[in-house]
């Protein structure tokens, strides 16, 4: 089979989160993508504290797994929360999985439409 055929079958597209990330909740995955979008210096402390009101252990769990950590200002006070290198890799993978899943959904809808046209 050629790559185009494999891609059409969905074999080349990863659409499921790997087992080693099963511990992550949907909120943690979403927050990882927010941190990825925020860039090198992540989110300001006040933004993270706002998020922690609904998910109190969110930052702690990501830090414990080495995916993100607090950064300090020039006075040594925690001022921002950002992804680590490992966290950037994981967030990038989550982003690719989300994109691939949306492409797979589009392919499924097209296949359903084609089946309905032939059946109609």
Domains of the chain, with CATH numbers?
A: 19-119 (1.10.10.10)
The reply to whether the predicted model has a pTM over 0.75 is no
If one counts every other C-beta atom within 10 angstroms of the C-beta of residue 80, the result is 20
Q: Is the pLDDT of residue 105 over 80?
A: no
pLDDT of residue 99: 80
If one counts every other C-beta atom within 10 angstroms of the C-beta of residue 87, the result is 21
Round the average pLDDT of the chain to a whole number and report it: 82
Q: 45-63 burial string, b = 16+ CB within 10 Å, else e?
A: beebeebeeeeeebbebbe
């Amino acid at each position: 089979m050629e790559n185009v055929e494999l891609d059409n079958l969905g074999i080349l597209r990863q659409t499921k989160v790997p087992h080693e990330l099963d511990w992550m909740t949907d909120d943690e995955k979403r927050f990882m993508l927010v941190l990825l979008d925020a860039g090198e210096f992540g989110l300001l402390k006040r933004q993270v504290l706002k998020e922690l009101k609904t998910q109190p252990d969110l930052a702690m769990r990501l830090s414990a797994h080495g995916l993100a950590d607090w950064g300090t200002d020039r006075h040594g006070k925690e001022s921002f929360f950002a992804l680590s290198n490992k966290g950037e890799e994981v967030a990038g993978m989550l982003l690719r999985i989300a994109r691939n899943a949306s492409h797979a959904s589009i392919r499924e809808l097209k296949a359903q439409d084609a089946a309905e046209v032939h059946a109609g």
